[in-house]
Chains A and B, each alone.
Chain A
Amino acid sequence: MVAPRVAFTGRVGVLALQGDFREHIELLGSLGVEAYPVRGPSELERADAVVLPGGESTTMSLLLESSGLLGPLVARLSRGLPALGTCAGMVLLASEVLDGRADQHHLGAIDISVRRNAFGRQRESFEADLEVVGLDRPLHAVFIRAPVVERAGPGVEVLASVQMADGTVRPVVCRQGQVLVTSFHPELVGDARLHAAFLSNIPAGTRPVATGPARARKDHVRAL
């Protein structure tokens, strides 16, 4: 698949506590973007944008706390750090998790209420083509024990929805400002268009100012 080009020249930290962070790093690499794993606060500090991957949200929630990332990540997100969350990443970025564990952290970066495992168990997991607002043609989407959005706040754009077994239609791609979330896993099919859309939506002016060495690195990436 031909990767779209993006103008974004910052660094993307991919939360690497558990789940399919490798696929996100590879996909971002295919766009010519520098992406690296984040397992601690010092790695988060260097990020101009973050990706929260698929995996188990309860596991990642616990590891966010034990690795000292929870506080710094909430603080960066509240100051406008751009974030992309897929599946478990969507659950973590939501303002409300309807059926999460009581001790599960959510980061409140996007005003949505999410229901976990909304389609059922693994035997109900599926793949399908999905129309997404802003993409030229359907995206092949893989839903693995996927969550859906049951409430999207007034500032949230719904970019794609699916029909549930009971006939209701639920959002599966949402955006609010610089935060984009998906119920499914674009990282599993090697289609980088949603990642490109996420990065293209980041205005150059609002990007956090990088430090000296980071600037040099940015120039290097731009030269590629």
Chain B
Amino acid sequence: MSSTDPAEATSGHNSAAGAPAGTRATGTSLVKRGLATQLRGGVIMDVVTPEQAVVAEEAGAAAVMALERVPADIRRDGGVARMSDPALVEAIKAAVSIPVMAKARIGHFAEARVLETLGVDYIDESEVLTPADEVHHIDKWPFTVPFVCGANNLGEALRRISEGAAMVRSKGEAGTGDVKEAVRHLRQILGDIRKITQADPAERYAWAKQLQAPVELVNEVAATGELPVPLFCAGGIATPADAALVMHLGAQAVFVGSGIFKSADPPRFARAIVEATTHYQDYQIVAKVSRGLGEAMRGEESGGVVTRLSDRGW
């Protein structure tokens, strides 16, 4: 399933040009985390049709998230939110050349297996969908396809990594267009990382207990000063300045859900957020791309939401 697949192995040998020596290994941690590394500095956009996927790709999206409803509509419509129709995922895959991600419910490994057979490039085990299991997340190690999971704090991030997540995104409060929760979650994750780098070895055991996370991962964070996998930011990013804000706080890339296709001018918003994510340290560029952009998604103040999606995850 994971790692070395004999069918993939090459008996490679060719002349002076060189050839692979040894077998090929798929689905390894290096290969899974490697794709997340390639997405850094980029914007991953939620799209609900192949046409939107093309708009996103043309605007410079590093990847798209294929789903049936953006989080703002999931909030509005209510009901149980599930994995998207495979036909939609396939149509979006066919429309673009960039990586395509799709969401499975928390703990719903059967949905995840279906998405894997569809050939999606990343699975988001997402709190935006209605959870299928209130105790367990998916055991992600046996999959060949990599997973991204949400986290509110460092303990949640490290638990997801211990289950095999190859990318973590701070959750924020999806579908609100309010960046406050994204800021809170990033600051919690990165603030605790900064503290752990100052902890002595005995204190790291206490950190592991407090975070309910393996001490080996706490030690790795202490040694490197960052998560063992890339940390991206999601949930509530609606403007170029929002993207610049979270990149400054330490996000390595941004997910934009409702913020693009609920805005007045999606192609321009998409492109402006892409440019602001790259040039987040250059406020003249952030100002330039923000100028005359029109109305951002209306949104709702995250404190007032009835269903807090970010509370999902254990």
Within A48-101, which residues are at the interface with B (CB < 8 Å)? 54-56, 58-59, 62-63, 66-67, 87-88, 99-101
Give, as a whole number of angstroms, the nearest-CB distance from A136 to chain B: 13
Chain B residues touching A, range: 35 or more
CB pair B34 A162 closer than 8 Å: no
In the complex, residue of chain A having the shortest beta-carbon distance to the beta carbon of B63: A56
CB pair A122 B145 closer than 8 Å: yes
Interchain CA distance A160-B15 in the complex, whole Å: 10
> Would A128 and B25 be within 8 Å (CB), given that A59-B61, A66-B275 are in contact?
yes
CB pair B14 A161 closer than 8 Å: yes
Residue among B24, B99, B121, B146 having the largest count of chain A Cβ atoms under 10 Å: B24
Interchain CA distance A127-B28 in the complex, whole Å: 8
In the complex, residue of chain A having the shortest beta-carbon distance to the beta carbon of B100: A121
Residue among B26, B63, B144 having the largest count of chain A Cβ atoms under 10 Å: B26
CB pair A23 B58 closer than 8 Å: no
Give, as a whole number of angstroms, the nearest-CB distance from B26 to chain A: 5
Q: Does A10 have its Cβ within 8 Å of any Cβ on chain B?
A: no
Give, as a whole number of angstroms, the nearest-CB distance from A212 to chain B: 26
CB pair B14 A122 closer than 8 Å: no
CB pair B35 A122 closer than 8 Å: yes
CB pair A121 B121 closer than 8 Å: yes
| Interchain pairs with CB closer than 8 A, number | 169
* Contact partners of A131 in chain B: CB under 8 A: 18-21
Within A114-144, which residues are at the interface with B (CB < 8 Å)? 116-117, 120-133, 138, 141-142, 144
In the complex, residue of chain B having the shortest beta-carbon distance to the beta carbon of A184: B34
CB pair B20 A117 closer than 8 Å: no
CB pair B278 A162 closer than 8 Å: no
Q: Does A13 have its Cβ within 8 Å of any Cβ on chain B?
A: no
Interchain CA distance A127-B20 in the complex, whole Å: 10
Give, as a whole number of angstroms, the nearest-CB distance from B116 to chain A: 7
> Would A125 and B34 be within 8 Å (CB), given that A67-B278, A162-B12, A163-B20 are in contact?
yes
Binding site for A on B (CB under 8 A): 8, 10-12, 14, 16-28, 30-31, 34-35, 37-42, 57-63, 97-99, 116, 119-122, 144-146, 271, 274-275, 278-279, 282
Binding site for B on A (CB under 8 A): 16-23, 39-40, 54-56, 58-59, 62-63, 66-67, 87-88, 99-101, 103, 116-117, 120-133, 138, 141-142, 144-145, 158-163, 169, 171, 173, 185, 188-189
